[in-house]
Every structure is written in C-alpha cells, then in structure tokens.
Amino acid sequence: MDATHDERRIAARAAGLMMIAGGMLATVTVILPPRAAGSDALILGLAMGLVSLGVMLLGLRRASEVGLGIALAIGTVAITLATREGGLVGTGTNDNEMLYVWICLFAFNFLSMPHAFAQLALIGASYAWLLSGVPLDEGASRWLVSLSTLLVAGLLVAHLRRSRNRLVDELTHRARVDGLTGALNRRSFEERAEAELARAKADGTPVSLVIIDVDGFKRLNDEHGHPTGDAILRRIANRLELETRQTDAIARPGGDEFAVLLPGAASAAALAVAERLLSAGVSDDEPGVTLSIGVATGPPDDGSFGSLWEQADAAMYEAKRAGGNAARVAGSNGPAALAVAG
C-alpha cells in the first residue's frame, strides 16, 4: 500500500469523524436552550444527513480528492443552513459558523492548494449569504475577520503539511539507502530483487546478481584507519555507478560488501561488468585495493532472491579462495568462469 493510498484512507476517516461530530453538535444545539429561530426539524434533518455521510466515509477504504471535496462542500452547506435556520443572534446555533474552521483546516491539510482555495471560496460565499440578514457594517466586519482568520490558519496548515511531507520523504529515503555510499540498503535491494525476479519469471528473461567484496578490508582499516576505509567504499559505489546502467540496482548490504542487480542481463553480460570492475580497479588513488566478485544468473528454480544470493555469494567466496582480484560465475568451473585483472 503506497503513501498516497494511506493518506486518502486517513483523509476519508477524518472526514467521516468530522461529519459525525458536526451532526452530533447540531443535534445538541437543538436539544439545549435557547430555541432556534427557525425549524428544529430542518436542523435535525441536516444533522442526520451529516451523520449518515460520516458513516459512509468511515466505510470507505480510500476516497478521491473529488469525493472529499464534495463531502466538504456538503458540510459547508449544512453548516450554513443550520446556522441560518437557527438564527445568528441569541439562539442555540449563533456560533455554528465556527465549524467552518473544521472544513478549512481539513481542506488545506488533505487537498491540493487550488482545491483548498476553492473550498475557502465556497465558505466565503456561504458565509456572506448567511450574514446577509445582519446590518451591512456588522456583517462585513464579521466576514472579513472570519475569512482572514481561516485563510491564515489554512496557509499555516499547508506550510506544516509541506514540512511534514518533506520530513517523511527524507526519512523514507534514509530508511532505504546506505548513509555512507548512497547505495540501496539490503532491505530495499531485496524488495527490488523480488520484483525483478517475479517479472523475469513471467517474461522469461534473465536477471543477474553480482556480489562484490573488498579483499583484505579489515587489514586495510586496521592499518590506515576507518576514514580511509570509508573513502574506499564510497569510491567503489561511484565506480559501480559508472559501470552499470540506470536500470540496474546497486546496494551495500553491509560492511565491505556490495551487490548489483542486472535485470535482463545473462551471465556473459554480468561477467563483463565484473571484468570491467576488475580492470578499472577501485580508483586511481587506491591502486592496491582489489575485489572478489561472484556472479549468478536467474531466476533460480524456486524463484527466490535468497537462492540467487546464495549462488552469487558462493561464487564470490570461490573467487576469494582463489586469491582474490577475480570473478567467478556460479555453476561454472571452467576457465571462462574466471576473470583476473592483469
């Protein structure tokens, strides 16, 4: 379930609760003194309509922006009619126009800005009609103060919404990538791999996995310090970016290990990537750093990423046992499985 779907589901639930609360408040204003200036029956009818709309919204798994906008418009009309029917002075509904705040805050929090301003415009027109029964100077003052307050409150909510969304996006990004190199972390890589394997199985196309391990990385850290080791890991990530396609996925599952997923690539193409990595080296600044690389091509028989990972990992350790600075292809023992940088 994506973030947009979640937000729309939350919006539908919030709108439903808001409508139910509004209907209950309208009912209370009829029951409690003072009496309404107009028809209590009409106010109760509006209250029941709001409660019914609220219950319907609560039952939705998600709501479109248009649907939410229609619900808000109905709420604005109901507030206006109930307040008009109750009377603006000395009645049980003379403060009902405060409920416009609910509509405004909801609109600026859940709807697009043009749609939110459209809802505010509807509130402005409805409130102007509502105040047409009071003296012009009083009505103009009340309208201006109320609409200015709603506008400022709405813009504040919109600002907070943008800040919240940026924070959520940043946290989501941080949760999916390795902070040191910018490559995907293991969880994100596995999610991408499972999707690519399912697609490859359905389309009958290959997908290859390349696992890279830095030879003697612990010794390098011990002798030169962790800042040097971190710099090397970043250079490897940059080299992988240069040697792969935009459609490929690069990850740092942990430590000194990297993984590259190559959708649509058979063993020969994946081995060619490994050979380029071995030939190019980590960087011109660190000519002594070498890599051990394992290559596996799937989908495997069981279609799982775990099986493909085990094959590539075993091939990588075979390259490391051969002395490092080499690449091996899973399931191949001949000379073609080996690539050593010259």
Residue 198's domain is classified under what CATH number?
3.30.70.270
Considering the domain architecture, whether residues 215 and 161 belong to the same structural domain is answered as no
Residue 130 and residue 79: Cα distance in Å, rounded?
10
Residue 40 and residue 11: Cα distance in Å, rounded?
31
Considering the domain architecture, whether residues 19 and 163 belong to the same structural domain is answered as yes
Q: Which of 128, 152, 175 is the last residue of a domain?
A: 175
pLDDT of the residue at 135: 86
Mean pLDDT is lowest, of 9-18, 82-91, 98-107, 313-322, for 82-91
The answer to whether residue 334 sits within a structural domain is yes
Work out the number of other CB atoms within 10 angstroms of the CB of residue 5.
Answer: 11
Q: Which of 175, 209, 238 is the last residue of a domain?
A: 175
Domain count, the chain: 2
The answer to whether residue 180 sits within a structural domain is no
Considering the domain architecture, whether residues 171 and 135 belong to the same structural domain is answered as yes
Considering the domain architecture, whether residues 102 and 134 belong to the same structural domain is answered as yes
Considering the domain architecture, whether residues 14 and 155 belong to the same structural domain is answered as yes
Domain that holds residue 136: 3-175
Q: At what angle do helices 3-31 and 100-110 cross, to 10 degrees?
A: 180
Q: Does pTM top 0.85 for this prediction?
A: no
Q: Which of 120, 155, 175 is the last residue of a domain?
A: 175
Considering the domain architecture, whether residues 49 and 164 belong to the same structural domain is answered as yes
Instruction: For residue 214, list its beta bridge partners.
Output: 291
Categorize the per-residue pLDDT at 4 as very low, low, confident or very high, splitting at 50, 70 and 90: low
Q: For residue 20, give the nearest of 42, 51, 46 by alpha carbon.
A: 51
Considering the domain architecture, whether residues 129 and 94 belong to the same structural domain is answered as yes
What stretch of H or E contains 202? helix 186-203
Residue 40 and residue 282: Cα distance in Å, rounded?
80
The answer to whether residue 181 sits within a structural domain is no
Considering the domain architecture, whether residues 171 and 190 belong to the same structural domain is answered as no
Considering the domain architecture, whether residues 14 and 142 belong to the same structural domain is answered as yes
Which one of 248, 256, 284, 313 is the catalytic residue?
256
- For 108-134, the pLDDT digits (tens) are 999 999 999 999 999 999 999 988 878
Residue 175 and residue 184: Cα distance in Å, rounded?
9
User: Is there a catalytic annotation at residue 256?
Assistant: yes
Considering the domain architecture, whether residues 151 and 221 belong to the same structural domain is answered as no
- For 15-27, the pLDDT digits (tens) are 999 999 988 988 8
The answer to whether residue 25 sits within a structural domain is yes
Categorize the per-residue pLDDT at 62 as very low, low, confident or very high, splitting at 50, 70 and 90: confident
Instruction: For residue 293, list its beta bridge partners.
Output: 212, 327
